[in-house]
Structure 1
Amino acid sequence: MQMDVMRIGTRGSALALAQAHETRSRLMAAHDLPEEAFEVVVISTSGDRIQDRPLSEAGGKGLFTKEIEEAMLDGRIDIAVHSSKDMPTMLPDGLELSAFLAREDVRDAFIGREAAKLTDLPDNAVVGSSSLRRQALIRRSRPDIDVVMFRGNVQTRLRKLHEGQVAGTLLANAGLKRLGLAEVVTELLPAEAFPPAPGQGAICIESRIGDAPVKAMLQPINHHATERALACERAFLATLDGSCRTPIAGLATIEDDRLQFHGMILTPDGREVYEIATQGRISEAGDLGRAAGARIREKAGARFFDGWS
């Protein structure tokens, strides 16, 4: 069954629109449909409007999805396109993550104004980041650096950097590539030492549970390996009750039918770190993530989460 017009909900930033347009292009190719068969609907979210304080103080990462999900539940849109790392582990009743596009580069990119590499910045340099994970990892590698809150979309952060507000900043390389801005990167940070946020680099598509026409449209563009990797990472995050208040990193990689996972939790100052590595069959992705979360929680102890979450 085919729909007349599929309405694609998205935030209005340049990156969000690029991701919505990529999803539309894949659907057009999969179903041999013209662009007119899709309508991109821009929805302003609380996360976009709140710029004066950290998201952890304003309500968490769900601020980037709340209004879009409301539009889907009341029928104004048919699907929503998100950055997977922005998605809470608990979704509203009636909604599900129904497809994932093939994952882009998972690494964080450093864009330096005073030095090309993070480790080469002068003593006590100022680096901007809105991510508690990135802030903690920066402090872990360079305790002398002054890390400041750095809100705004990609273009806003780059403008602040070039205005001299900070000596450097970190952004997801996947987003920079999707915006055609890969040339601004001065250093790509290795995922082994600087692990990404769960879901980083992956576009996910949210829809209503039981919407058969939408499910049929999305099935051909779903990337199975990305879906399984994200099942592991999101299960790890959910087991830790991960939120914007907790520095958590996690990356699942897949080769053939095997999945390898590396997880990390840190205190915000980067001084206390717990890591875990595990592997298993791709069919066990969710169980592997949950087990890794339970083990790292046991290693860190309740005090760790009571103090920082």
Structure 2
Amino acid sequence: MVSSFLRIASRRSQLAMVQTHWVRDQLAQAHPSLEITIETMATQGDKILDVALAKIGDKGLFTKELEAQMLVNRADIAVHSLKDLPTNLPDGLVLGCVTEREDPADALVINKKYQDRLLDTLPNGSIVGTSSLRRLAQLRHHFPHLVFKDIRGNVITRLEKLDSGEFDCLILAAAGLQRLGLGSRIHEIIDSSISLHAVGQGALGIECRDGDLDILKQIKVLEHAPTNYRCLAERAFLRELEGGCQVPIGVNTRIKGNQLILTGMVASLDGKRLIRDEVYGDLINPEDIGIKLANILKEQGAEDILKEIYKDS
């Protein structure tokens, strides 16, 4: 018999709560008799705000505390921004469900003094805020005349720093802004020819205990098959490269008929070396596509770039 209780673990940030409440409401609609509770907590990534993400290390930076709650049976599922979830999960836990993806693109958010500018028309020396090495490397590659400055904190805090004049623009995930009702702040969607997005960006991943069939059955109602195929390919690509959330690895996936097309890139931190390629394959074998592309990029020098980054970090 399927359990009538479900306990969700979530980060406390505003965006995490919006996402978790959406999952709760969707599950409640699908299972009217299900009693759902939410337990919130701060993760390591939430607590350390004065150090760049890449310098903290990224092994479960935003997920470890939530996973611990499931492993000691204090929670049944955890809701994550899928881009934050490492590709190798702790023993006993699985990625049980991937929800329909919002727009995975990166977005330009601008200080009002540059409302008439786009990313490619910003003046020399404009200060761009981002905490992502992936965005940093790609934008340095295309726009070496801009100045990049690390920024931490939740979305609202970052926008306040932008509006106060500390930054001329920010690069943020379009999906996060839209989920927070801040879509009007998006000044420009950055084309994938400039910035490939993070693995899993725009999708939610629901993690649960391996073998907990009742819970798996309950959450599968939120599974979106096309998004799942795309994210499986992306995560296999990242896993094969042995990359983490805080390395300059970007992707883009699309589905055409029964084919999945995966574009991927690896870049040096200074943006001077950027390796990018594309493969396609049968939709029903998405992980094979990700592994194939990773090996192609390795042959083109991606492994050397990543080794250099890990050596210096």
Q: Give the TM-score range, shorter chain.
A: over 0.9
Is the contact made by 2:230 and 2:253 (CA closer than 8 Å) also made in structure 1?
Answer: yes
CA distance in 1, matches of 2:302, 2:92: 34
CA distance in 1, matches of 2:215, 2:193: 37
- The match for 1:14 is 14
Is the contact made by 1:45 and 1:63 (CA closer than 8 Å) also made in structure 2?
Answer: yes
CA distance in 2, matches of 1:222, 1:303: 37
Q: CA distance change for structure 1 residues 147 and 61 in 2, over 3 Å: closer, same or farther?
A: farther
Is the contact made by 1:161 and 1:169 (CA closer than 8 Å) also made in structure 2?
Answer: yes
- The match for 1:188 is 189
Is the contact made by 1:258 and 1:280 (CA closer than 8 Å) also made in structure 2?
Answer: yes
1:175 aligns with 2:173: no
Q: 2:135 is matched by which residue type in structure 1?
A: R
Structure 1 unpaired stretches of 5+: none
Q: Deviations over 1:256-298 (max 9, x none)?
A: 3210110011111111111110111111100110110011011
Q: Deviations over 1:103-162 (max 9, x none)?
A: 110111100114241112111111110000111122112101110110111111101101
CA distance in 2, matches of 1:284, 1:264: 21
CA distance in 2, matches of 1:302, 1:178: 35
Q: 1:76 is matched by which residue type in structure 2?
A: R
Structure 2 unpaired stretches of 5+: none
Alignment of 1:227-246 (within 5 A): 227-246=228-247
Shift of 1:301: 5.3
CA distance in 2, matches of 1:189, 1:61: 28
Is the contact made by 2:54 and 2:247 (CA closer than 8 Å) also made in structure 1?
Answer: no
- The match for 1:55 is 53
Is the contact made by 1:61 and 1:86 (CA closer than 8 Å) also made in structure 2?
Answer: no
- Structure 1 ranges of 4+ moved more than 3 A: none
TM-score by length of structure 2 reads 0.95
Shift of 1:39: 0.7
- The match for 2:74 is 76
- The match for 1:110 is 108
CA distance in 1, matches of 2:76, 2:70: 6
TM-score by length of structure 1 reads 0.96
Is the contact made by 1:245 and 1:308 (CA closer than 8 Å) also made in structure 2?
Answer: no
Q: Deviations over 1:48-85 (max 9, x none)?
A: 00011112211215110011100110011100000011
CA distance in 2, matches of 1:127, 1:90: 32
Q: Which moved more, 1:114-123 or 1:20-29?
A: 114-123
Q: CA distance change for structure 1 residues 244 and 84 in 2, over 3 Å: closer, same or farther?
A: closer
Is the contact made by 1:259 and 1:285 (CA closer than 8 Å) also made in structure 2?
Answer: yes
- The match for 1:300 is 301
Is the contact made by 1:112 and 1:118 (CA closer than 8 Å) also made in structure 2?
Answer: no
Shift of 1:245: 4.5
Is the contact made by 2:7 and 2:39 (CA closer than 8 Å) also made in structure 1?
Answer: yes
Q: Deviations over 1:202-228 (max 9, x none)?
A: 001000000011011012211111111
SS of 2:269's partner is coil
- The match for 1:272 is 273
SS of 2:61's partner is helix
1:23 aligns with 2:23: yes
CA distance in 1, matches of 2:141, 2:28: 45
- The match for 1:214 is 215
1:259 aligns with 2:260: yes
Q: Which moved more, 1:10-19 or 1:236-245?
A: 236-245
SS of 1:260's partner is strand
Instruction: Pick from 83, 93, 96 the counterpart of residue 94 of structure 2.
Output: 96
Query: RMSD over aligned Cα, in angstroms?
Result: 1.3
- The match for 2:201 is 200
Shift of 1:244: 4.2
Is the contact made by 1:30 and 1:221 (CA closer than 8 Å) also made in structure 2?
Answer: no
- The match for 1:164 is 165
